[in-house]
Amino acid sequence: MEENGEELKDKELSSFLAKIDEIGDLVSDLRGGSVAAAGNALRRADEYLARQGGDRVTHDRSVINTGEGQSADEHSSRGSEKEHVEFMKTLEEDARDRGERRKEREAQGRDHKKRGNTAFRAGQFENAVTEFSVALRHTPWDISLYTNRALAYNRLGCYDDAIVDCDSAIRLEPCNLKAYLQRAKALTGLHRVKEAVECYTEAEKEFPNKADTIASLRKAIEP
């Protein structure tokens, strides 16, 4: 009987401690400053009282004790304002970091573009392609890198690659005469003369002030 009595006391103690923990969690949520958490805590408090056989209590949810007698809305507003300030600070820091990284990429892009141009003028077309490719990884928005590399590809006889670069340049900048001309040359190199003529003809329409020069190139390959 004594063992049963001790066992009963242990169960009562465990139950009591569990209740203390539950009440502690409720109080913590009520004082946490979050309207959502406080509302949830009030609901759980009602359920707890109901389980204990007490009368269900209705609460004025417009005011929650936050430790200084301020309303939950005021407390939440202050918290939201602080979060907004911290968020804007993070955005500013991120924008500054992005700006610095972009400057670094632009510097790298210019350096490799310069190397590519130097290699091209020296007739080192493979090196030029390599340098322009590296530059594009740093500054993919630099359209001239596509047309420069297309020119190097044409000199190497890599006409399909040249066409791909010209198409990329035209997508980014529809009014890019150099891309049209290099594309037509690549098509000519592939003996796709009809398509090359069409490319020149389209360029004549896009660049009427250069129509005579483009027409002479077109006529030079026409059957």
pLDDT at position 60: 44
- For residue 105 the two structure tokens come to 């990429």
Q: What share of the chain is helix, strand, coil (3-state, %, to 5)?
A: 80, 0, 20
pLDDT at position 195: 97
pLDDT at position 214: 96
Phi/psi of residue 174, nearest 5 degrees = -55, -35
* Distance (Å, whole) CA 27 – CA 42: 9
Report the CATH superfamily, name and number, of domain 157-223: Tetratricopeptide repeat domain (1.25.40.10)
The structural domains of the chain, with segments of one domain joined by +, span 22-70, 157-223
Residue with tokens 């997508």: 171
pLDDT at position 100: 80
Closest CA to 180 of 194, 166, 191, 193: 166
Residue ranges of the chain with per-residue pLDDT less than 50:
1-3, 8, 30, 33, 35, 54-67
pLDDT at position 55: 42
